[in-house]
Amino acid sequence: MKTINVGLIGGGFMGKAHSLAYSAVPMFFWPADLVPVKKVIAEATDALAADAAARFGFERSTSDWRTIVNDPDVDVIDIATPNNLHAEIAIAALEAGKHVICEKPLARTVEEAGAMYEATRGLDQVHMVAFNYRRTPAVALAKRYIDEGAIGDVLNFRATYLQDWSADPAAPLSWRFQKKVAGSGAVGDIGSHIVDLARYLVGEISSVNSLTSTFINQRPVQAAGADSLGNAKGASSELVPVDVDDEVMTLVKFAGGAVGSLEATRNAWGRNNFITFEIHGTEGSIYFNYENRDELQVCFKSDGADRRGFRTVYTGPNHPNGESLWPIPALGIGYGETKIIEAHDFFTAIAGGEPVRPDFGDGYQTALIDEAILTSADSGLWTSVPLLNRETGKLEPTS
Ligand code: NAI
Ligand code: SOE
């Protein structure tokens, strides 16, 4: 059995999710090509780092991520910090010869994402951006239906990502509300997930016509402790401005001819992690709602007029990404499982010397789309999205 040593940077929400995945990968995927070893974790202070190592099962800890990046005993750098550190860490890690998995969005800006992609060119290491929702078995099944032509030519893709953890203006200023840390608001934080799903399922987006809003334009300062994702207990009485969007809507045109819409908001009381998509094709339709993530609803023209309607397929071991999870459908496939599959696919790529998707090129293309959305929202005009040519590394007009 071969092992691979992981250095994880950031021990918050995603530090927990990734650590869980590293422990669980060999339990689900066995025999394993490479078994991850939780070698060293970095946090913002020595105390936080030591605490994270004890909690998540890392052998060592540090408050200086640079020591991990240059540690010859570390093979993989996992970036689970706020967005402002992604580019600097990833570029240093790639230069040091490490494989890199980086949380989404790849970076704060299209410039940073481009530099990160550039740093991968000509290197053999595996790089991945952690858009894990595409690894949900029902989402992978939707892709299988589309690729097999079961719904014909795709005409329309409409997706939502609706949340309410920050709908209360009394919720403190998370790093996610600060442009200098996050880059953008709902656009990069949650909109990027449905942009990734749009690209994965339908193809490249060629132009957008968008609007963004900031409905809650000031928030209390976080008094102390970790980012609390909307927990008002952490709020002080001092109010500071929010300088990112909290709502985005965009029309999209796909290079392949389909049209669609994407909507992401943090102000949707009652909607917690409401990722949905509905896809209409010439031969049928597909509907997915992450709140019922074991299920994919499908309807086919060929079903006959007297029985046509959406029916539910419950995902399980017979479906893509479901094979190694649980032995019967509808037992409950959760967020954790998407991270376990993501980690497995990353290590399989390293073991096989193959690339994995979504990679930094995909993260960069998503950043180009996010940039076009923000530009269009400013101008009110349709805005075209340049397409990354993976052969040349240059940007070209999307046809
Ligand atoms: P978080 O705020 O819960 O955790 C970030 C951690 O990084 C904190 O514990 C913080 O102390 C630590 N940190 C800050 N500066 C550091 C430094 N210099 N060295 C080491 N550690 C440092 O944030 P969360 O939610 O874990 O987000 C992290 C990243 O993951 C973000 O890019 C976010 O967009 C992404 N994310 C992705 C999700 C997904 O579904 N794929 C879900 C949640 C977050
Ligand atoms: C907050 O909106 C958040 O944690 C995002 O940062 C994640 O990407 C999303 O998957 C869950 O919600």
Q: Based on the fold, state whether residues 164 and 204 are members of the same structural domain.
A: yes
316 and 213 in a common domain:
yes
Q: Is 13 in the pocket of ligand 1 (CB under 6 A)?
A: yes
92 CA → ligand 1 middle, Å: 18
Among 275, 82, 226, 246, smallest CA distance to 169 is for: 246
In the numeric block, the tokens 């334009």 are attached to 217
Distance 42 CA to ligand 1 centre (A): 11
Ligand 1 atom nearest 189 alpha carbon: 34
Co-location of 108 and 141 in the same domain: no
What spacing in Å lies between the alpha carbon of 222 and ligand 1's midpoint? 16
Q: Is residue 379 part of a domain?
A: no
Residue 329 Cβ contacting ligand 1 at under 6 Å: no
Q: How far is the CA of 11 from the centre of ligand 1 (A)?
A: 7
User: Is there an atom of ligand 1 within 6 Å of 44 CB?
Assistant: yes
Total of domains in the chain: 2
CA–CA gap between residue 157 and residue 382 (Å, rounded): 18
Show which of 352, 375, 391 is a domain's final residue: 352
Is the Cβ–Cβ distance between 57 and 15 less than 8 Å? no
Q: Is residue 360 part of a domain?
A: no
Q: Looking at ligand 1, which atom is closest to the CA of residue 131?
A: 41
Atom of ligand 2 nearest to the CA of 132: 10
User: How many Å lie between the centroid of ligand 1 and the Cα of residue 277?
Assistant: 26
Ligand 2 centroid–CA 80 distance in Å is: 12
C-beta of 132 in contact with ligand 2 (< 6 A): no
Domain with 35 in it: 3-132
Tens of pLDDT, residue by residue over 169-181, are 999 988 999 999 9
Cα(130) to centroid(ligand 2), Å: 12
Is 99 inside a domain boundary?
yes
Pocket test for ligand 1, best of 103, 161, 340 (most atoms within 8 A of CB): 103
Q: What is the 3-state secondary structure (H, E, C) of the chain?
A: CCEEEEEEECCCHHHHHHHHHHHHHHHHCCCCCCEEEEEEEECCCHHHHHHHHHHHCCCEEECCHHHHHCCCCCCEEEECCCHHHHHHHHHHHHHCCCEEEECCCCCCCHHHHHHHHHHHCCCCCCEEECCHHHHCHHHHHHHHHHHCCCCCCEEEEEEEEECCCCCCCCCCCCHHHCHHHHCCCHHHHHHHHHHHHHHHHCCCEEEEEEEEECCCCEEEEECCCCCCCCCHHHEEEEEEECCCCCEEEEEEEECCCCEEEEEEECCCCCCCCEEEEEEEECCEEEEEEHHHCCEEEEEEHHHCCCCCCCEEEECCCCCCCCCCCCCCCCCCCCHHHHHHHHHHHHHHHHHHCCCCCCCHHHHHHHHHHHHHHHHHHHHCCCEECEEECCCCCCEEECC
Which stretches of the chain drop beneath a pLDDT of 50?
A: none
Residues 183 and 289 in one domain: yes
Is residue 277 assigned to a domain?
Answer: yes
Phi, psi at residue 152, to the nearest 5°?
70, -150
Task: Among 18, 79, 162, 189, say which to mutate for ligand 2: greatest number of ligand atoms within 8 Å of CB.
Answer: 189
Task: Indicate if 283 and 191 belong to the same structural domain.
Answer: yes
Ligand 2: atom nearest CA of 193 is 8
Residues 7 and 52 both lie in one domain: yes
- Same domain, yes or no, for 212 and 318? yes
Whether ligand 2 lies within 6 angstroms of the CB of 189 is answered as yes
pLDDT at 1: 84
Q: With respect to residue 296, please indicate whether it lies within any of the assigned structural domains.
A: yes
| Residue 224 counted as domain residue | yes
User: One-letter amino acid identity for 11?
Assistant: G
Q: Does residue 365 have its Cβ closer than 6 Å to ligand 1?
A: no
Whether residue 146 lies inside any domain: the answer is yes
Query: Of 79, 105, 132, at which residue does a domain stop?
Result: 132
pLDDT at 231: 72
190 lines ligand 2 (CB under 6 A): yes
The CATH number of the domain holding residue 88 is 3.40.50.720
Residues 128 and 184 in one domain: no
Residues 310 and 320 in one domain: yes
Let me know whether 144 and 288 are in one domain. Answer: yes
Q: What is the pLDDT of residue 272?
A: 96
CA-CA distance, 346 to 252, in Å (whole number)?
A: 30
CA of 239 to the centre of ligand 1 (A): 23
Residues 117 and 162 in one domain: no
Structural domain contains residue 308: yes
* 65 CB within 6 A, ligand 1: yes
Which residue, of 102, 132, 162, is where some domain finishes?
Answer: 132
Contact 104, 129 (CB under 8 A): yes
CATH number at residue 328: 3.30.360.10
Q: Give per-residue pLDDT as tens, 255-274.
A: 999 999 999 999 999 999 99
86-95 helix and 110-120 helix, angle to the nearest 10 degrees: 10
169 and 317, same domain (yes or no): yes
